[in-house]
Amino acid sequence: MVSIALKMYCLPKLCLSISVIQWTIFVLMKSFDVPIIYRSPLITAIKKKRKEQDKMKKDFTPTLLDFGRLQIYLARHFGFCYGVENAIEIAFRTVDDNPGKRIFLLSEMIHNPQVNSDLQAHGIQFLQDNYGKQLIPFDELQADDIVIVPAFGTTLELEKKLNDIGIETEKYDTTCPFVEKVWNRSEQIAKKNYTVIIHGKPRHEETRATFSHAAFFAPSVIVKDLEQAKELGKYINGEKPPARFYEEFKGQYSEGFSVTKDLERIGVVNQTTMLASDTQAIADHLKQVMIEKYQLTNKHIEERFADTRDTLCYATLENQQAVIGMLQADADLAIVTGGYNSSNTSHLVELCEEKLPTYFINNEEKIVSSQQILHYDFHKKQEILTSDFLPKKEPVKILITSGASCPDALVEGVINKLAGFFNSTISTEKMVERFH
């Protein structure tokens, strides 16, 4: 059965037909050929050791790196996920296999500045920015050009545009299988006449792609958070006049959407990188609204509310659980590394911020000195220079994690930078030996 599942995955769009068990086995077995510059001997050794000790992935306690005066607690799960490694491998292999050809990416491959810069250095050009703004006009494309679809996926409209030019999109489609899983779930509930409610960031590439696929099959609405879901609930139960919906949810509903008809049966799916607890709260709230409006018993809930299983990707969920486990440690601060426009990384920052001072950086150079750190405030969308971020005590205890699009090499760089401030006699090379 495993060999059949592996073959099926190699065919575009067919990964959705394999069972959950087959898919889990495949993810655990699959490895990728990504550039060595993204790897870290230390992180690789740690992850290998933890995997050997916890094959079922039930232990979310962090890994302690004891440098003496500095103690680092490293999250159980972090860094490149399956979909990211798959996309990176395909992108670099595409460059190697097509010398002299023009190669484009629809937008950023993933939300990591180093990886995207490396791809551009290899001659790949971006057609759009993160928000769909055109950087290179489609009318400049030719049928023999290569266009790579990023891990976030793309809209049906963009796919058709490229196909009409004569460009094969399936051949270089790196859409994450877990994103396609959401599309599949949307189609399933759409065929049962449910309207699709998508929890996601309206301008995010993945949300736009999911909305496009969902709206092809059924009326669809994007809600960005619980507060907006509560407002949607008011249209469901009649507290708000239907006419206001079209302004309040402008740009977030499908063409021809009818507030009076299309909110009678609903189901919730999500952008795969959202906070699991947020999606659950949205689903719970909307479910309760439907129960109260239609006086439903547990037996009849599915008449109005679709039973959708969680559509977060495994890496997003594991990384969030690992942060929750990491936060049980007695620490002074947390450092989260990743792209500033990375949704899944920002949610890890949110979790850490609830408990202790948290610094969001995209590489070790943002740690200016032992006194200053230049970090990103994703609430205000700006970098902030903070002084005296390291407490004057010993040992200093720091929690560290990273997003699913962050290379392990960057995390090791952060660890080395911090260790250097404490004149540790334990090098990362010696630390690697401890995990062999």
Catalytic residues: 206
DSSP characters over 224-278: -SHHHHHHHHHHHTTSS-HHHHHHHTTTSB-TT--TTTTTSSEEEEE-TTS-HHH
Count CB neighbours of 237 within 10 A: 13
Q: How far is 351 from 275, CA to CA, in rounded Å?
A: 9
Q: Is 364 helix (H, G, I), strand (E, B) or coil?
A: helix
Residue 14 token pair: 């067919």
In 3D space, the residue among 336, 58, 344 whose CA is nearest the CA of residue 179 turns out to be 344
Q: How far is 317 from 324, CA to CA, in rounded Å?
A: 11
| Residue with the two structure tokens 């990504």 | 34
In 3D space, the residue among 142, 20, 34, 79 whose CA is nearest the CA of residue 342 turns out to be 79
CB 125, CB 179: distance < 8 Å: no
Q: How far is 136 from 348, CA to CA, in rounded Å?
A: 33
Helices (DSSP H) in 10-63: which residue ranges? 20-29, 41-53
Count CB neighbours of 30 within 10 A: 12
Count CB neighbours of 357 within 10 A: 15
- Using only C-alpha atoms, the chain has a radius of gyration, in whole angstroms, of 23
Give 149-178 as a 3 state SS string. Answer: ECCCCCCHHHHHHHHHHCCCCHHHECCCHH
CB 221, CB 215: distance < 8 Å: no
Q: Is 70 helix (H, G, I), strand (E, B) or coil?
A: strand
Q: How far is 363 from 416, CA to CA, in rounded Å?
A: 12
In 3D space, the residue among 3, 56, 52 whose CA is nearest the CA of residue 26 turns out to be 3
Distances (CA, A) of 353 to 39, 323, 347, 356, 362: 28, 11, 10, 6, 17
